[in-house]
Amino acid sequence: MSSTYRNFIGGQWVAHSNGEAIDNRNPANNSERIGVFPHSAKADVDAAVAAAATAWKSWRLVPAPKRAEILFRAAEWIAARKEEFARDMTREMGKVLKEARGDVQEAIDMTYYMAGEGRRLFGQTTPAELPDKFAMSTRNPLGVCGMITPWNFPMAIPSWKVIPALVCGNTVVLKPAEDTPLSAVHFVEALEAAGVPPGVVNLVMGSGTEVGAPLSQHSGVPVISFTGSCEVGGLVGAACASSFRHVHLEMGGKNVLMVMDDGDIDLAVDGALWGGFGTSGQRCTAASRVVVHKKVIGEFTRKFVERAAKLRVGDGLDPKVDVGPVINETQLARIQEYVRIGQKEGAILLCGGRRLDTGIYKNGWFHEPTIFGDVAPNMRIAQEEIFGPVVSIIPCESLDDAIEIGNGVKYGLSAAIYTRDVNRAFRAMRDMHTGIFYVNSSTIGAEVHLPFGGTKSTGNGHREAGTAALDVFSEWKSIYVDYSGKLQKAQGIE
């Protein structure tokens, strides 16, 4: 029997203003209802922002180590319920259970990591240019932070945003994706149980139009952090620009995995399978392009297609399944359209390409792992983010050719190279214009203590994770203390 859920505002689980609901269904079996969630409205956003603004007055004054102790308890609380949260995530999002466990673990890791920052949050001290004068800088919170998060990592990505914001002394209004609200509920429950004061964390569930837009446009929210599509990211950026509010955008990727003629082919196939079909290809870091040297493209393609054809598609709770469903009917239709586009462009469909909708698949949103060969770099399937289990194999003549192809898209999130030549590896590392780079590993697998984000249309220059995340949710204050007892003018002014 499914449950009915409420928003979390001002430390209370409260009914939303308009009574409309979102029916959350299992993408592997859409006859299974996960729960009924609020389809909130602007009034709920306003209430959450007001609660967060009130709470900020006292939360910002709590010593950072004390804020961090609360976060540490939240990490402990999530860790004790990891399996429960992972199973619920698989039911509402579809990714296979081992990946859902990884998603929850990332939230645990991020929360532990940022709890440690509560005793750092380092600024600088520096010699002043005048005698009897002290100079330093400190990080300061901004206020209410609006967080708009996607469905593909429904606990990890909220943790990337909410936890560093909290440790810096901000308060939060979280708007999760309407496809995956339950994981956000679990995350907020952990913070509540850990002792976060009322109003410091607020959860408003609903659509992008009814909740996301009012949140991004709200004058009482000085910083917005958004992860999602470039199209929506542009709207969020525009909404913040006119009032000079801070905005962090983490958007798409069209990531490349480059296989050189001296690379370990079997290892590269492993990386291409994991990068292309993990999370059913629904990752911003997915390896949707594989650029292969012509000397080894035949061997690589044969092995890659053989392995992909054997991947087992099904319910992510089944331990025998390798690839779960895609998130919803709209996304499935988008994938099918790109398969048609690829065939029309002249690419060769090497395996997959079909929706699975009979037998055990009849009530779900399943698509076969799909590989295209003979793909030209300028084809749409090699340029546009599909966000599904579709991989394009592109031939190259050399390392320089591979790098040119790899950089020849509007995105710049992640790239990888398979080679045994350290010189080639370092050249590619230097010349690929991406925010993340891997050597002899796939394009996915970022760790929480290093910056996460990309270049070009992938984002607007900010980074998540690591200490870089603190720069999104704090601003610098430079402080000068003159204890000379007289007016001293800097820059050598007499």
Which amino acid, residue 82? K
- The β-bridge relationship of strands 355-356 and 474-482 is unpaired
Among all chains, which residue has been given the structure tokens 């779960």? 324
Rounded distance, CA 373 to CA 347, Å? 6
| Helix (H/G/I), strand (E/B), else coil: 223 | strand
Active site residue 92: no
**For the chain, how big is the Rg over CA atoms in Å?**
24
Q: Name the DSSP class of 200.
A: T
SS (H, E, C) 234-288: HHHHHHHHCCCCEEEEECCCCCEEEECCCCCHHHHHHHHHHHHHHHHHCCCCCCC
Could you give the 3-state DSSP secondary structure of residue 196? coil
396 catalytically annotated: no
* Maximum separation of any 2 CA atoms in the chain, in Å: 87
Element (H, E) at 18: none
CA 161 → CA 70, 212, 406, distances in Å?
Answer: 16, 15, 29
Is 352:368 a contact under the CB 8 Å cutoff? yes
Angle between helices 64-80 and 82-93 (to 10 degrees): 70
Give the whole-angstrom CA distance, residue 360 versus residue 141.
51
Q: How many residues does the chain have?
A: 494
Give yes or no for a contact between 21 and 36, defined as CB atoms under 8 angstroms apart.
Answer: yes
Catalytic residue among 210, 250, 368, 385: 250
Catalytic residue among 145, 240, 284, 396: 284
* Residues noted as catalytic: 250, 284
